[in-house]
Amino acid sequence: MESRWDDGAAAAHGGPVGECVYCTRLIGGDPSLVLHGGGNSSVKAPVDDITGTTVDALHVKGSGWDMATIEAAGLTPLRLSRVRELLEVDRLSDPDMMRELGAAKLDPGAPNPSVETLLHAYLPHRAVQHSHADVIVNITNLGNGHDVVRDIYGDDVVVVPYVMPGFDLARLVRDVWPDQSHAATVGMVLLNHGLFTFGETSAEAYRHHVELVSKAEQWLDQHAPVDESAPVDPPGATLMTDLADLRRTMSEVAGRPLVVQRHTDEATRRFVGRADHGDLATRGPLTPDHVIRTKRVPMIGRDVAAYAEEYSAYVARNASRARTQLTELDGAPRVVLDPQLGMLTAGPTVTDAQIAADIYHHTMAVLTRAEDHLGGYVALPEGDIFDLEYWDLEQAKLARGGARPELTGQVAVVTGAASGIGRACARALLERGACVTGIDRSPSIADTFSGAAWHGVAADVTDAGAQLEAIEATVERFGGIDVAVVAAGIFGASVPIAELEIDEWRAVMEINLDSVVTLLRGLHPLLVRSPVGGRVVVIGSKNVPAPGKGAAAYSSSKAALTQLTRIAALEWADDGIRVNTVHPDAVFDTGLWTDELLAERAARYDLSVDDYKRRNLLRTEVRAATVGAAVAALCGDAFSATTGAQIPIDGGNERVI
């Protein structure tokens, strides 16, 4: 492990709490040490309360803060003497422990402290850092893990057998610490869990972390060298409908739509190509913390029903271990391993699916190394995994969990998404929790939005092949498609029919109508496999019910598009797909309307620009966001009984009415 410590950068954070923040970020920013919320840190430093009294305090990482990005506010200050008193209690449930820790906070507004707070308080060092380093779980998930730790570190570390985090772990450490520790002790290895290091300062704790992780790396390189030079088969060909079918089945078991990502990188293909990957992968996670994200074991193959049945059996076998009333979690897999598919990871959001992927990429490397070179991978018994999966603290989190955005877990495709109404529709869907692929011929589409739920594809909708590639990429990235919003279109030349060039007519028809036929034809096999029922919304135009002069190509294309939408509503109703149209008008905050054009049109009617924008019955300005919100609403449950509708979004137009 390479040290990344910089004295100047550490000093810039100011004082022991700032140095702890800096140290925590260094460790938390290394995925080989900490993944997605794992690990914790602390520093003991006095604080002056409002009366001016100096109080000995423990500043420990707060719940909900990621080590990689933590700020000083993420370290919760607690009265150290009170926390240490809790260690003298004979028995303490974890919920009671967390309540007492909450009462010990010196700042009531600080986050809830780490469940490992008692352990941090007990350790006789000012600064403490804790990680779930890959190399540590690699050497401890072995039949002789304890002996390997002693072989590597001698008596430089305290070795603690696995026990549940929280009060039980803190008491166990208190029991074993006096017999194993001495003046030269620099760390503590928790078998099947991770590494603690400590020192008088965070700099010293970090230095010990580097030293101990490096020793484990060197031992593994000597005893379990990694060789990835052997060729690996290319990813297997997979139909989009196969992935969509699997996502639908997994979502049905989960009771909600899931995002499913496919991974076919070389390391994954090498692992699923092993003859023993099914046996190896189903022995258990690297550390029980992972069960919250990945379930205890992956699904091998594609039999979701069998996996769910075995999950329920696992819960039944261990239900008596639950410390509180048990609410069974859904039995859908979060990781799927299949020689043809590669690895699929799933979750209610794309972030959840990506976290499962990150964890399992690290898991595959550890499993392979332990199995091939170190006598075999040995996980904890399933009861220990169950204890953490159904930990009363985790069950309490489920009970407190608020409602997710309405479209969470759903996947949408929006054409013309780089600007105007298409962009507004994409934004509205993202804000409601959907994953969105935006298709637009503008190269800016890739960066129109940020975040894992956004996928921008630069493609011309008139290119059928490019459209299909965008659809395929969406299924690989998110698992299927539930929503389609057709917003791509052009107005064309504003000329009378007598002056209309046939090439101009055909160009407008190709974009506004023909490309939509191609898109809908390609999307139907996926929409019909949606776990929530497919939804299509087409952006029409006020010109359909109320055309004007000089827009023959545009008005005709939108009228034909509306008729196409009506037929799709008729044909696809039996498939549970609803298809609706919105007809916007006077949406002036798009690229079609420049300040000069608005001024010219307003002057034509002898109106101010502001009055011109509100030249409708409701005297309201119709913005792209107005249309986007309506489209997103049509995709939600409020319109579950609506298909074939045509909805004006124009502030009220006398000619339309």
- The secondary structure of 351-404, three-state, reads HHHHHHHHHHHHHHHHHHHHHHHCCCECCCCHHHHHHHHCCHHHHHHHHHCCCC
- Output helix, strand, coil percentages for the chain, rounded to the nearest 5: 45, 15, 40
Q: How far apart are CA 528 and CA 566, in angstroms?
A: 17
Instruction: Note whether 478 and 261 are within 8 A (CB).
Output: yes
The answer for 427, left when phi > 0, alpha when psi is -120 to 50, beta otherwise, is alpha
Active-site option among 22, 377, 390, 554 = 554
Q: How far apart are CA 575 and CA 354, in angstroms?
A: 31
Question: CA Rg, the chain, in Å?
Answer: 30
Q: Exposed (0-12), middle (13-18) or buried (19+): which is 431, by Cβ within 10 Å?
A: middle
Q: How far apart are CA 123 and CA 586, in angstroms?
A: 68
Pairing of strands 646-649, 75-79: unpaired
Q: How far apart are CA 640 and CA 406, in angstroms?
A: 13
Helix H or strand E encompassing 188 = strand 187-190
Q: How far apart are CA 343 and CA 263, in angstroms?
A: 5
Q: Residue 631's closest CA among 407, 408, 463?
A: 407
Catalytic residue check, 554: yes
The answer for 6, left when phi > 0, alpha when psi is -120 to 50, beta otherwise, is beta
Q: How far apart are CA 94 and CA 542, in angstroms?
A: 61
State residue 654 phi and psi, 5-degree precision.
-60, -40
Q: How far apart are CA 418 and CA 424, in angstroms?
A: 9
Q: Residue 468's closest CA among 455, 478, 479, 457?
A: 457
Catalytic positions: 554
